[in-house]
């Protein structure tokens, strides 16, 4: 079987059914990779540095001679890794291999795996081609609907209900591993790099506009551009700011109750650390009060103090839009029950469908 070189469009289709093996170094893979790809490193980080230096300073032939012993000791483990993945997941005997830009690393591993008996596809242009494709996704126009509401409104839970109902939904906070506020990183996995966040988001946009149903809008949560340490790509964020916001107006006490359920049992040291991170914006007195309430086991008043701050911050962001009166549609809701609020949203959409 000949090794087949595929373009990015074919790759995006085949990756839905076949395993993708990334033969770049562990450091490259850890920084960012194609979502769901499997690391099958040809070189360690140190070996890559050695081979790369010789390639630049001496030449291709010397680099290849240096690389071959590194490759030789990994041949059997590589084959066995691929076999395990295929057997465990019941994949066909076909795989996709890529490196940084479709060069010698993927060519060498593809040769080995093809020789062993796998049908091998290599991505033309490698990870670099995918990365360029990913960035292009943020230049496109999308039909977006935004779920809005003050902190503690249960916006993420509404999105989950919409997703269960079959709507196109992208959970930005899930992709960012962060819930948005100063407390958003508590009990969450480490955040991805900016590049990895963009890769995941690009594939989600592609999925909802190409593989699912482009006839319906994509629902997103109203976010600041920055979510923890990652940023929503500016072109997409600008589209979000120009899209209709369905703002759930929920009483303060109900939202406070929801926040308490989410963070009330979090370790005090983590809560205090989060409060200290927003000290300058929160103000000295409010910071002091919030921490004192927390130390006195009065978690409710602590979060009440913080919720007042976040309400002001969100109100400012909500109204910092052109045509805010046209874009923001208010939906009064008595509490944070996501099922009920998704129903209220549907009733609102039905009532305005022919307006």
Residue range 98-117, pLDDT digits in tens: 999 988 899 999 999 999 99
- Predicted TM-score (pTM) of the model is 0.93
Contact 43, 25 (CB under 8 A): yes
| Helix orientation angle between 104-116 and 60-72, rounded to the nearest 10 degrees | 40
Radius of gyration of the chain (CA): 25
Decide if 120 contacts 97 (C-beta within 8 A): yes
pLDDT of residue 1: 78
Predicted confidence at residue 57, as pLDDT, reads 87
The answer on pLDDT for 214 being more than 70 is no
**Euclidean distance between CA atoms 99 and 127, whole angstroms:** 6
**Residue with token string 């995006």:** 12
Say whether 99 is catalytic.
yes
Burial class (CB within 10 angstroms; exposed 0-12, middle 13-18, buried 19+) of 158: buried
pLDDT at 118: 96
| 91 vs 87: CA distance, rounded Å | 7
How confident is residue 349, by pLDDT bands cut at 50, 70 and 90?
Answer: very high
Determine the pLDDT at residue 33: 98
Confidence tier at 237 by pLDDT (50, 70, 90)? very high
CA 169 – CA 129 distance, rounded (Å) = 26
Per residue in 247-298, pLDDT tens? 999 999 999 999 999 888 888 888 899 899 888 888 889 899 999 998 998 9
CA atoms within 13 A on the CB side of 6: 24
Residue of 18, 42, 95, 99 marked active site: 99
Instruction: Indicate the SS3 state at residue 95.
Output: strand
More confident residue, 91 or 182: 91
pLDDT-based confidence at 184, cuts 50/70/90?
confident
The model's pLDDT over 290-338, given as tens digits with 9 standing for 90+, comes to 999 989 989 999 999 999 999 999 999 999 998 999 999 999 999 999 9
CA distances from 204 to 67, 209, 274, 278, 339 (A): 37, 9, 30, 32, 24
With a CB cutoff of 8 Å and minimum separation 6, the contacts of 94 are: 18, 118, 119, 120, 121
Which has the minimum average pLDDT: 55-69, 76-90, 118-132?
55-69
**Order of strands, edge to edge, in the sheet holding 4-6?**
4-6, 119-123, 94-98, 20-22, 38-39
CB 125 within 8 A of CB 11: no
pLDDT band at 222 (very low <50, low <70, confident <90, very high): very high
């Amino acid at each position: 079987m000949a090794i087949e070189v595929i373009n990015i469009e074919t790759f995006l289709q085949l990756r839905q059914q076949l395993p993708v093996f990334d033969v770049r170094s562990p450091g490259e893979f850890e920084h960012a990779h194609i979502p769901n790809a499997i690391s099958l490193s040809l070189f360690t980080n140190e070996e890559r540095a050695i081979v790369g230096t010789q390639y630049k300073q001496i030449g291709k032939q010397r680099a290849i001679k240096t690389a071959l012993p590194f490759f030789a000791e990994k041949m059997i483990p590589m084959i066995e890794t691929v076999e395990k993945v295929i057997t465990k997941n019941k994949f066909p005997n076909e795989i996709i291999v890529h490196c940084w830009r479709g060069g010698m690393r993927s060519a060498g591993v593809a040769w080995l795996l093809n020789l062993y008996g796998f049908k091998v596809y290599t991505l033309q242009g490698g990870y670099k081609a995918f990365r360029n494709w990913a960035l292009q996704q943020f230049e496109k126009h999308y039909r977006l609907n935004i779920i809005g509401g003050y902190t503690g409104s249960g916006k993420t839970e509404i999105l989950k209900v919409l997703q269960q109902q079959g709507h196109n939904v992208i959970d930005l906070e899930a992709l960012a591993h962060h819930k948005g506020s100063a407390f958003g990183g508590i009990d969450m996995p480490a955040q991805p790099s900016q590049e990895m966040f963009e890769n995941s988001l690009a594939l989600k946009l592609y999925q909802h506009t190409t593989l699912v149903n482009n006839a319906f809008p994509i629902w997103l949560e109203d976010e600041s551009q920055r979510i923890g340490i990652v940023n929503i790509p500016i072109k997409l964020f600008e589209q979000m700011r120009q899209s209709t916001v369905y703002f759930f107006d929920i009483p303060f006490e109900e939202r406070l109750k929801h926040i308490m359920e989410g963070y009330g049992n979090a370790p005090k040291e983590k809560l205090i650390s989060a409060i200290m991170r927003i000290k300058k914006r929160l103000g000295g007195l409010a910071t002091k009060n919030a921490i004192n309430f927390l130390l006195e086991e009065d978690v409710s008043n602590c979060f009440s103090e913080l919720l007042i701050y976040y309400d002001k911050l969100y109100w400012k962001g909500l109204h910092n839009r052109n045509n805010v009166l046209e874009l923001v549609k208010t939906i009064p809701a008595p509490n944070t029950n996501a099922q009920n609020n998704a129903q209220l949203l549907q009733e609102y959409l039905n009532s305005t469908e022919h307006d």
